[in-house]
Chains A and B, each alone.
Chain A
């Protein structure tokens, strides 16, 4: 079975600072992708970043980057130069090709302090 753990229910960061949200997962699949989704107060789910498990290079999207440690099954999200608009719930979601299911973590609520 595939599982995912986000061990930080809530985090805070000062505006313009950097914060890292952690995610660990467990899967027996060899072909999988890892996603981070953001859910602002509007409730809309927004894709933040995506990482292919077969790629060693960490994905980057502007101020968002991941630290993917395949052997440790860790997929953390780093947000640089945090902005007030980054305040949201963040969900980690590994997906494996063989299960036809998307599994989400329990989420980390990020607060950005002005």
Chain B
């Protein structure tokens, strides 16, 4: 089944404790991206990747890191989480970035930083 797998689904952590949210797609997609969703703000792009080893900042990259060592995986790393990073996070992918390509989304990660 074609899908974007995101783990964990829920995560509670404490300030400063490094964490990684994993994202993997099995569709051979070139484009992958991360979003955070906050009430009243919609989805905001954190980072995106056009292909292996090619990543770039979205609109809200501060406090986050990503890597794209393999085509299928695009983990989101919070080196020192803070409470303002409490949010719902989505990973998404598409075959390529073209303006007509729809995004395939993971099921989301609800992160709480205490």
Contacts and interface: CB of A to CB of B under 8 A. Distances in A.
Interface of A: 6, 9, 31-33, 35, 37, 42-45, 47, 50, 52, 91, 95-97, 100-107
Interface string B56-84: 10110000000000000000000000000
Given A43-B108, A100-B56, A100-B97, A105 B102 contact: no
B29 interface: no
A101 B90 CA distance: 15
B59 A104 contact: no
B99 to A, nearest CB: 4
Nearest to B49: A100
B38 to A, nearest CB: 9
B29 to A, nearest CB: 14
Interface of B: 33, 35, 40-45, 48, 50, 56, 58-59, 88, 90, 92, 97-100, 102-103, 105, 107-108
A91 B97 contact: no
Given A43-B88, A101-B59, A50 B100 contact: yes
A9 B34 CA distance: 24
Contacts of A97: 98-99
Nearest to A104: B43
B108 A91 contact: no
A103 B40 CA distance: 14
Given A95-B99, A101-B48, A101-B59, A44 B43 contact: no
A9 B40 contact: yes
Contacts of A6: 42
B90 A45 contact: yes
